Amino acid sequence: EPEVTQTPSHQVTQMGQEVILRCVPISNHLYFYWYRQILGQKVEFLVSFYNNEISEKSEIFDDQFSVERPDGSNFTLKIRSTKLEDSAMYFCASKNLGAEGEQFFGPGTRLTVL
């Protein structure tokens, strides 16, 4: 069964460093998302991406964040200068065209900012 994959599973970084979180969405999906979940809290929408551009972003997704689909398979989230409060689980999700809202989530990357 196709699945969304994410790497790395755990990333530890120093405050102020740049991190890139990687995702491989399900191959025939066209909509891509990043969500985050601070420990013990709800899952929050960060950004959606369709047709090679951002279609919507939340207020969390400030200038420190960027997304890219560098090739036909990967979808990345970059945080330019990490802050302590960026520590969270980051989930990538993808959705097929026409699938009624059904988003498939990856296993997540745990980001720890020290």
Partner 1 sequence: QQQVKQSPQSLIVQKGGISIINCAYENTAFDYFPWYQQFPGKGPALLIAIRPDVSEKKEGRFTISFNKSAKQFSLHIMDSQPGDSATYFCAASRTSGATNKLIFGTGTLLAVQP
* Residue 91 C-beta: closest distance to partner 1, Å: 5
Shortest Cβ 6–partner 1 spacing (Å): 8
Q: How far apart are CA 20 and CA 8, in angstroms?
A: 9
Min CB(55)–partner 1 separation in Å: 5
33/79 with CB nearer partner 1:
33
* Residues at the site binding partner 1, with contacts judged by CB under 8 A: 4, 31, 33, 35, 41-45, 48, 50, 55-56, 91, 93, 95, 100-108
Q: CB within 8 A of 4, min separation 6: which ones?
A: 23, 24, 25, 26, 92, 93, 94, 104, 105, 106, 107
Q: Residues 17, 111: contact at Cβ < 8 Å?
A: no
The answer to whether 89 and 36 are in contact (CB under 8 A) is: yes
Give min distance, CB of 79 to partner 1, in A. 19
Q: Tell me whether residue 82 or residue 106 sits nearer to partner 1 (CB atom).
A: 106
Task: Say how far residue 74 (Cα) sits from the centre of its chain.
Answer: 11
Q: Closer to partner 1 by CB, 17 or 58: give it.
A: 58
